[in-house]
């Protein structure tokens, strides 16, 4: 599983320690939100019962990429349509680094986390 950087990896692993790792939607949300430090600092304050109720999260003053990640989290979790297919295909709007994160998040929602996140083992 790829991460945006080491800070993203550490924030994600720390965030999911006590969460239900079989909840693909929550793992997807946390993966996206932890990819941007400011976004995660805001979003984690909304955590209730080891879940992020994404419909309640309100972001302020986050970066353009942070807002893209937030919109993607809402779209994947709630079925909203904040980002269109055209937006996702636009390299200038969503650079390759962010596209990779979005793609991995879609994999997490569809297939779940890789085995290493359950046991601590590498594949």
Q: Give the C-alpha separation, 122 to 120, whole Å.
A: 7
Structural contact between residues 4 and 77, judged by C-beta atoms closer than 8 angstroms = no
CA angle 86/54/48 to nearest 5° reads 165
Look at residue 60 in the predicted model and tell me its pLDDT: 87
Q: Give the C-alpha separation, 27 to 51, whole Å.
A: 9
Look at residue 104 in the predicted model and tell me its pLDDT: 97
Tell me the pTM.
0.92
Look at residue 118 in the predicted model and tell me its pLDDT: 67
Look at residue 120 in the predicted model and tell me its pLDDT: 57
Look at residue 86 in the predicted model and tell me its pLDDT: 95
Domain ranges in the chain are 6-111
Predicted confidence pLDDT, tens digits, the chain (123 residues):
899 999 999 999 999 999 999 999 999 999 999 999 999 999 999 999 999 999 999 998 889 999 999 999 999 999 999 999 999 999 999 999 999 999 999 999 999 999 877 655 554
19 token code pair: 């969460």
Count of H-run helices and E-run strands, the chain: 7, 0
Taking residue 113's Cβ as centre, other Cβ atoms within 10 Å add up to 19
HSE-CB of 81 using CA atoms within 13 angstroms? 3
């Amino acid at each position: 599983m790829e991460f945006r950087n080491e800070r993203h990896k550490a924030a994600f692993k720390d965030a999911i320690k006590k969460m239900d790792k079989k909840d693909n939607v929550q793992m997807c949300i946390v993966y996206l939100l932890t990819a941007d430090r400011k976004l995660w600092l805001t979003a984690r304050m909304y955590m209730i019962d080891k879940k992020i109720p994404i419909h309640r999260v309100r972001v302020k003053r986050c970066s353009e990429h942070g807002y893209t990640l937030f919109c993607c989290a809402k779209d994947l979790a709630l079925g909203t349509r904040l980002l269109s297919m055209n937006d996702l295909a636009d390299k200038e709007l969503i650079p390759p680094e962010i596209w990779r994160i979005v793609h991995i998040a879609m994999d997490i929602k569809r297939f779940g986390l890789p085995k290493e996140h359950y046991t601590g083992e590498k594949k």
